[in-house]
Amino acid sequence: MVFGLFRRKKVRRFEDLRTKRLALAFRKIRAAETIASTLIVNLDKNIVFLKSGIKNLTQRANELEKVGLRSEAALARNEAKNLSFMVRKILLTRNILEQVKLRLETLKEASEALSILAPTLNVLNKAIKETSKTKPEIAYQLKNIRELLYSALLDLGEYTKVTIDYYVSTSTEAEKILLEAKEIAEKTFNETFK
């Protein structure tokens, strides 16, 4: 009879621990979603700032060319080109984050976590590589989101590091997400700079 009492408590403790880990995992996912939303707003502000810089540089290049300073005008145009390259990268990162945020919002149950989070981890890995050279502060925040999602998957308890890494590396859904984000970024860039 005494052994029966201890067994029940251990089972109950294990179930309590599992529910706490599930709650912690979903809390981490919601935190990652909040960070992504904040980062999207910051990227929008950054894009507006860079657009105004491009506009000022092209106006300055036109004025310099009217005066006859062609080499200075070429430098201003080259700098505007560099800024437009940076705007494209930031637009791509913003669209990737938008896709990741949408996926995080759709996640409701632990059973679908790996199928939803594995492509987002893959996409975040690629976005970190893309932005680490141009905007390291954005790459750092993307790393924070990735780490939160990765630890949330580990907290779910059903997966090990090996299975998570396997699903992340073999995810074909990530390519679809990247392709869609690139198309949207190009379309947005072409609409704003025409």
Domain spans of the chain, in order of start: 17-192
| Whole-angstrom distance, CA of residue 87 vs CA of residue 77 | 15
Cβ(65)–Cβ(76) under 8 Å? no
Task: Decide which of 166 and 67 is more confident.
Answer: 67
Q: What is the pTM of this model?
A: 0.77
The answer to whether residue 178 scores a pLDDT higher than 70 is: yes
Condensed to tens digits (0 to 9), the pLDDT of residues 100-114 reads 888 888 877 777 777
CA–CA dist 169, 121 (Å, integer): 9
Tell me the pLDDT tens digit for each residue of 119-167: 888 888 888 988 888 888 999 999 999 999 888 888 776 655 556 665 6
